[in-house]
């Protein structure tokens, strides 16, 4: 690490300690790496706040890269507990807009020409400014009104530098954090690396916007801006400028509110089960109400994709939840997830059964979908089952959509609105044409299984008969027992060495002592060596457990 990165590590350690994470930085060896320990007092706000809130405050104080890390983590309920996800959703970019001269310079270097060659005018006041980019209204040479998204100068280099520091900190934590599965620091950093580089490349957002435009062009109640490809690059994105009122500020009559709510439900259904492409962050700030009650959907930096098997799994999961079939819910989540080792499926099913009984004694309209999905994802985290990021992103999008619907038109009869879509789903799923295809696939799988099974059973029986059949049993308890036995053996060995030195010294030099000032030198050396070995063994016995890994889960538990 260079001097700049070491200074950044020191800054992170100081801020982390100020927010009550001093023990974690100490155990991670941050101060040992820097060669000097900073004395930091925990702030009064951190002493009163929950762990999740302290974590949000920490990321906020660490700057734009860490704010963006928190915002991305807030979409990943498969990586963090619900309390942290909800807290990180409140992170906001608090950055000053960069000057118009830098906007012109970015456009010039990115599009390869003077600004006047592409735009007749650019509004000097940005419509929005964030840590990654800011947006300006502009007019093209042809007189078309557009929105130009320009990447913040130097943000790519800053993020790459911070990623290097994050990787170093992750490796330090890996050596001290006991959990290495669902809470892996390196895994979280790699997820962030992939997500932030996708967001830094505006061509990805342009491709997403074009895909949404094609999917929704025949749906008159929803507008998606068109992409001006000739005015776009990796750091500049030019889109059609859509005029409208922010969703949260629109003044609407009750019948307009009801119709908009139904349109939102229809758009969500079509995105999930027809297009397989859904908006990952449909909060009110990304939605405009245009003239005629048309909805405009903005910002396609975060989207989710569902394949046909994933759509089928989602349908089965919804049916299992509606029927309170805890066994099917547990098996579906276990099958689509990535268990970190062998999960306790029986315990998982029993916990889901209790969850469904507490959430579903009421009608569908009264179900709190937000709490239900949050608790289901928390159970998956508890049993160390990592749900694919698409489902975690869908969970967040669904919660945001439900919140908008309840705010827009609380009287909406969810059960009546959802029923036609449920019928359509079931009709499509059990259509004869679809059914025949699915039945043929199932028969082919059974045929393959039937042909392979005799061979596999014969191989097992032959191995058993010849004595080559072996069963490998692994358990955490055996590993811990093995480690304890090794430690006991080392301590016993050091103790025997110490005794040997003492006895050997007295026997060897009792008759012919090598005296210095009347003191047998070799005997003193042997006794000193014996004392050192004894001290080492005794110190290991007393304090060895204190240098073990720390359980990060205790930092994730809410304070009482």
Q: How far apart are CA 156 and CA 110, in angstroms?
A: 14
Is beta strand 133-140 parallel, antiparallel or unpaired with respect to 128-129?
Answer: antiparallel
- The two tokens of residue 434 are 């679809």
Segment holding 277, helix H or strand E:
strand 277-279
**CA proximity to 404, closest of 271, 303, 264, 288:** 264
Q: Is 25 exposed, middle or buried (0-12, 13-18, 19+ CB in 10 A)?
A: buried
Cβ(398)–Cβ(367) below 8 Å = no
Phi and psi of 293, rounded to 5°?
75, 15
- Which residues on adjacent β-strands are paired with residue 177? 550
Q: How far apart are CA 453 and CA 448, in angstroms?
A: 8
For this structure, is 78 an active site residue?
Answer: no
The DSSP 8-state label assigned to residue 280 in this structure reads: S
For 243, how many CA atoms within 13 A lie in the half-sphere containing its CB? 3
**CA proximity to 148, closest of 124, 177, 165, 181:** 124
Choosing from 61, 193, 201, 281, the catalytic residue is 281
Q: How far apart are CA 5 and CA 168, in angstroms?
A: 10
Rg (CA), the chain: 31
Q: Is 281 exposed, middle or buried (0-12, 13-18, 19+ CB in 10 A)?
A: buried
Cβ(123)–Cβ(116) below 8 Å = no
Provide CB contacts within 8 A for 544, sequence distance 6+. Answer: 487
H-assigned helices in 19-129: 22-28, 30-34, 44-48, 51-62, 64-73, 82-88, 100-111
Cβ(273)–Cβ(317) below 8 Å = no
H-assigned helices in 476-546: 476-509, 521-543
**CA proximity to 38, closest of 12, 1, 60, 66:** 12
Is beta strand 236-240 parallel, antiparallel or unpaired with respect to 222-223?
Answer: unpaired
Q: How far apart are CA 124 and CA 20, in angstroms?
A: 42
Cβ(223)–Cβ(269) below 8 Å = no
- The two tokens of residue 541 are 């016995």
Cβ(203)–Cβ(78) below 8 Å = no
Catalytic residue ranges: 281
């Amino acid at each position: 690490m260079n001097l700049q990165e070491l200074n950044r590590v020191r800054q992170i350690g100081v801020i982390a300690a100020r927010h009550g994470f001093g023990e974690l930085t100490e155990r991670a060896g941050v101060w040992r790496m820097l060669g000097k320990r900073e004395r930091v007092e925990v702030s009064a706000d951190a002493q009163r706040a929950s762990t999740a809130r302290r974590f949000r405050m920490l990321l906020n104080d660490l700057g734009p890269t860490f704010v963006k890390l928190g915002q991305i983590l807030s979409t990943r309920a498969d990586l963090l507990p619900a309390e942290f996800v909800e807290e990180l959703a409140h992170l906001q970019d608090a950055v000053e807009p960069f000057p118009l001269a830098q906007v012109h310079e970015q456009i010039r270097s990115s599009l390869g020409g003077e600004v006047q060659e592409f735009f007749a005018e650019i509004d000097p006041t940005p419509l929005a400014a964030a840590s990654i980019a800011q947006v300006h209204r502009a007019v093209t040479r042809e007189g078309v009104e557009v929105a130009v998204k320009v990447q913040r100068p130097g943000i790519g280099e800053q993020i790459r530098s911070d990623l290097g520091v994050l990787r170093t900190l992750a490796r330090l934590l890996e050596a001290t954090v006991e959990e290495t599965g669902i809470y892996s620091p390196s895994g979280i950093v790699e997820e962030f690396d992939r997500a932030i580089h996708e967001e830094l490349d505006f061509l990805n957002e342009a491709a997403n916007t074009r895909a949404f435009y094609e999917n929704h062009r025949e749906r008159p109640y929803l507008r998606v801006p068109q992409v001006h490809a000739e005015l776009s690059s990796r750091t500049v994105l030019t889109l059609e400028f859509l005029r409208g009122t922010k969703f949260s500020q629109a003044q609407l009559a009750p019948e307009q509110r009801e119709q908009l709510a139904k349109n939102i439900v229809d758009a969500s259904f079509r995105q999930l089960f027809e297009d397989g492409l859904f908006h990952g962050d449909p909060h009110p700030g990304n939605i405009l109400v245009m003239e005629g009650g048309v909805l405009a959907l903005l910002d396609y930096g975060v989207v989710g994709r569902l394949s046909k098997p994933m759509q089928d799994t989602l349908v089965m999961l919804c049916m299992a939840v509606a029927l309170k079939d805890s066994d099917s819910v547990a098996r579906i989540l276990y099958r689509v997830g990535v268990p970190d080792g062998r999960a306790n499926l029986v315990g998982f099913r029993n916990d889901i059964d209790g969850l469904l009984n507490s959430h579903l004694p009421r009608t569908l309209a009264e179900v709190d979908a937000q709490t239900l999905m949050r608790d289901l994802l928390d159970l998956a985290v508890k049993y160390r089952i990592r749900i694919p990021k698409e489902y975690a992103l869908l969970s967040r999008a669904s919660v945001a959509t439900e919140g908008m619907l309840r705010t827009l038109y609380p009287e909406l009869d969810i059960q009546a609105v959802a029923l036609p879509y449920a019928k359509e789903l079931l009709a499509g799923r059990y259509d004869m044409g679809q059914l025949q295809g699915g039945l043929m696939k199932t028969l082919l799988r059974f045929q393959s299984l039937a042909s392979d099974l005799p061979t596999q059973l014969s191989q097992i029986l032959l191995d058993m008969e010849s004595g080559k059949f072996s069963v490998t049993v692994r358990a955490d308890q055996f590993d811990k027992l093995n480690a304890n036995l090794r430690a006991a053996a080392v301590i016993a060995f050091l103790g025997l060495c110490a005794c040997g030195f003492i006895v050997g010294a007295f026997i060897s030099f009792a008759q012919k002592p090598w005296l210095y000032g009347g003191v047998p030198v070799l005997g003193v050396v042997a006794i000193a060596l014996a004392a050192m070995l004894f001290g080492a063994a005794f110190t290991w016995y007393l304090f060895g457990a204190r240098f073990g890994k720390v359980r990060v889960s205790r930092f994730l538990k809410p304070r009482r």
